A and B are shown apart, each in its own frame.
Chain A
């Protein structure tokens, strides 16, 4: 078995040696973030949390910023941007910063942030309190999807417990926004929190420089801040060493598709391969392919994926990125083009309806994928689809159209043989396979009714 090299020139020599691979779910051995009670126990309360982790360390703002720097904590919402840099950017920008913890997890097959907030709310609130210190602010907002009762309930109850216990916490506001795919994008969240629509915004500067309120705005993911709460307890260098050189620290992933228990959230430490992750879930042989990073992610053929470590560097070698941490297995008897076509159709209807090329282009891309999967496309249709994808790429105010394009490009690239077979011989037997990925019913067109975005 060949393991892809995990080279990283940024690695400093003071880091701990590479960690052994461990993989586990909530309350299972080998976990850190997910350690503690089993999922059936519900949200861990403040007493349980404090007895396992101790009180929140008394690091001041400079101390927390040092933790961020030394751990090299990367954002876990999809972008992978270093939280230390966001914080420094916001501190250098004029105005009092705003801190928003994004727990809305709009990626429908991903569960990691929801699971974390619903079961370990105090870890999330601890981490957010630390980021507030680093920014020098006395409050923060936690943004969740409306109607996500386990998450909102657990966080709300945790805030009450902390207040009653007299913790010296920043003021917390829970914000509930619409449950839509692009509503979880950071500028959409920031806009919503400041009284606007939960639709992505065209911004002239990064949110951390100038957000919708005119103040520097740090939007960071729930897992990211929870990781900081762990870093403050175990130290930044030991935490860093629990990952792989290019991917500091442990990571949360959600497994989906052809696995025994789709929707399970796992914490991985060390350079675990996708094969390790799937094996831990009882998958005994490489699937046909693995979709990594989310709906707007990248397909990797099963044999290759099986040997690829789930680290930023190794995934980049196969054109993928950790994204939201989704690991979805495609079985050998399903049709990859049909699965992709369903995702593209769903994403087309999830456009915020603001940018013309996205509104006009995504349904066309969905039509093209449908005809390709259905076996009615010709070679020139595929060329046109690729050309249209190039047009759509980079056309929007947010990354939504780009995500669709990347998924399509990855599909055409990775499943080249399937494409050729569909062009030659019509639909494949896999077209009749029941849907593998749980994709919500697509909306016929983007929703532009402003009420839908409040």
Chain B
């Protein structure tokens, strides 16, 4: 069962490769130098969680940080 995750970009590690934006799409806002900021700090669907984890794995600087909230999506959605 998937859990929702919190997503953050560590600005001290981000080097503006913008790879996270390829995976996390609209969830990342890039500034004019390519440095990213997450628009919503929570990924709460299976699809978003999967994308967030891919973005984290792809970031060459380990700046894209996914943190387990421990909230199961099934429980949150009441399914």
Q: Which residues does A use to contact B, with CB under 8 Å?
A: 201-202, 204, 354-358, 360-361, 391, 394-397
Contacts and interface: CB of A to CB of B under 8 A. Distances in A.
Given A354-B12, A356-B14, A356-B16, A395 B67 contact: no
Given A204-B67, A356-B15, A356-B16, A397 B10 contact: yes
Contacts of B65: 204
Nearest to A392: B31
Contacts of B67: 204
Given A355-B14, A356-B14, A395-B37, 11 more contacts: A204-B65, A204-B67, A354-B12, A355-B12, A356-B11, A356-B16, A360-B33, A361-B33, A395-B11, A397-B11, A397-B12
A391 B12 contact: no
B77 interface: no
Interface string B51-79: 00000000000000101000000000000
B35 interface: yes
Contacts of A356: 11, 14-16, 33, 35
A188 B27 CA distance: 29
Contacts of B12: 201-202, 354-355, 397
Nearest to A354: B12
A161 B71 CA distance: 55
Interface string B1-19: 0000000101111111000
Contacts, number: 39
A304 B36 CA distance: 40
Contact of A357 (B8, B10, B13, B35): B35
Interface of B: 8, 10-16, 31-33, 35, 37, 65, 67
Contacts of B14: 355-356
Nearest to A388: B32
A355 B32 contact: no
Nearest to B37: A395
Contacts of B15: 356
A391 B31 contact: yes
A357 B31 CA distance: 8
A204 B35 CA distance: 19
B31 A354 contact: no
Contacts of A391: 31-32
Closest 8 A-B residue pairs measured CB to CB? A355-B11, A354-B12, A356-B35, A202-B10, A202-B12, A357-B35, A397-B12, A360-B33
17 contacts: A201-B12, A204-B8, A204-B65, A204-B67, A354-B11, A355-B12, A355-B35, A356-B11, A356-B33, A357-B11, A357-B31, A357-B33, A360-B35, A395-B11, A395-B37, A397-B10, A397-B11
A201 B12 CA distance: 8
A75 to B, nearest CB: 24
Contacts of A204: 8, 65, 67
